[in-house]
A and B are shown apart, each in its own frame.
Chain A
């Protein structure tokens, strides 16, 4: 059976997100921990910025969980760029065992599933699951140079600039506020053996970097944080745990248009979802939240059509993270995609709502289109994959 039922409870200790400026203006804008005002973040290239976002998302999540770097047993991480380079560059800052993963946009759920397996098997106590993606670095690798004056087709999706990290643990998280300060995020590669001059330079660069970041509204340190009226506060009331997961298989229905990822991924999402409902003997109505990854508006519609054909009606509260990520006037056509999409939506919006008790039992599914720049040129079709995990909350 492809569905894994975890024997031990796997708690989500914390989640941390860093996103770019366009994402901060989007629908989930209020839920992110850190929003960048500039998507280069004082770095020389977009890949370097992505790597830094990834590194600092992991650091932030570890801080927020009340842990130290040394407490983490395994890191599971991935991104979209060739050979997961930004992830590897981020991972060199941690003294931790590292798995580099790639499953296109579904890397996050893959990481969570594998992390849960590691904890369930008793091999680890704390595991970080993180992914990142960056619009500008993905665009130059998969598509065209940014300055090329072409039109994006109406089926196109917008790669989310963002990194997020979830800390999974076999222990119950402490239901308290762990403050994350600007210094925790930025000043991590502090090298003690540097001379005065370099230290001065280093301090200046940190000051410069601080100017570019906005601590999100959800962060406790933010000046405009209102404890009473904000649903996204950092006051968790419930324990969040991962109970089951379904590992997807690669499905290819012969879609060859690389600008129509939603159509390529929807059959995989359908396959994984139906398998999950069959294996767990449940139906969509048993859950109060169903979140798919980055199918986009058309992909969401396609999935609903496929489910309808099988006799399963998707409930009204079914939400696609990609389709809901941006406001319509942001002109992203189909919405967000990329490894950072479902990740930042989960760690930002979904996790905080779970901790506040708005959702009790949900499914998170992320989809990925498995292609590189050359396969469509070699007249290959685009296979899709989808991984799924389900979450329940527990009262303290």
Chain B
């Protein structure tokens, strides 16, 4: 029988790989288009609500993008975009929305409490935890430096 190391080498060398060019182009185009949609929403908001500050526009922009990502997920379209685009639809904020809504929909059948609510953070949980801890550390270190 083949040796362990030799077999692992063989598998590593011969396993089918993702087609680089196609996936990179797809990720580039879809990612770019999603960012452009966000920018367009921001521009429209600026035109409609002239009094809005730059900061508020940015917040509204990301909220609307999150809503759109969730809506596409609920309609069952986001996974098809993701199948084509890969990171192009994971990295934008809509991908974050997708990672919250998709488990909630998946575990809908297990009820509201332990299905929708508990399983909602199966994928997005690490993002929220890492984000919260990182922001706390940044604030804490900043506070120490001002002392």
Contact = CB atoms under 8 A, between A and B. Distances in A.
Interface stretch (B50-58, B99-107, B125-133): B99-107
Interface string B15-39: 1111100010000000000000000
A146 interface: yes
Contacts of A333: 16
A164 interface: no
B73 A147 contact: yes
Interface stretch (B41-49, B59-67, B81-89, B134-142): B81-89
Given A45-B109, A149-B95, 12 more contacts: A144-B123, A145-B107, A147-B73, A147-B101, A148-B99, A148-B103, A149-B79, A151-B86, A254-B8, A255-B11, A298-B16, A306-B2
A254 B98 contact: no
A271 interface: yes
A257 B18 CA distance: 15
A144 B119 CA distance: 12
Interface of A: 44-45, 140, 144-155, 253-255, 260, 263, 267, 270-271, 297-298, 301-302, 305-306, 309, 333-334
Contacts of B122: 145
B81 A149 contact: yes
A254 B102 contact: no
Nearest to B83: A151
Given A149-B98, A270-B1, A260 B15 contact: yes
B89 A146 contact: no
A267 B7 CA distance: 9
Task: Give the interface residue-count category, chain B.
Answer: 35 or more
Contacts of B11: 255, 260, 263, 302
Given A44-B109, A253-B8, A148 B102 contact: yes
A382 B27 CA distance: 31
Contact of A146 (B1, B86, B95, B102): B102
Nearest to A267: B7
B82 A301 contact: no
Contacts of A145: 102-103, 105-107, 122-123
A148 B102 CA distance: 5
A144 B78 CA distance: 14
Contacts of A149: 73, 78-79, 81-83, 85, 89-90, 95, 98, 102
B79 A148 contact: yes
B76 to A, nearest CB: 7
A301 B14 contact: yes
B143 interface: no
A147 B83 contact: no
A305 B103 contact: no
Contacts of B85: 149
A159 B124 CA distance: 25
Contact of A147 (B7, B86, B98): B98
Nearest to B26: A151
8 contacts: A45-B109, A144-B102, A145-B107, A145-B122, A149-B102, A151-B23, A154-B16, A155-B15
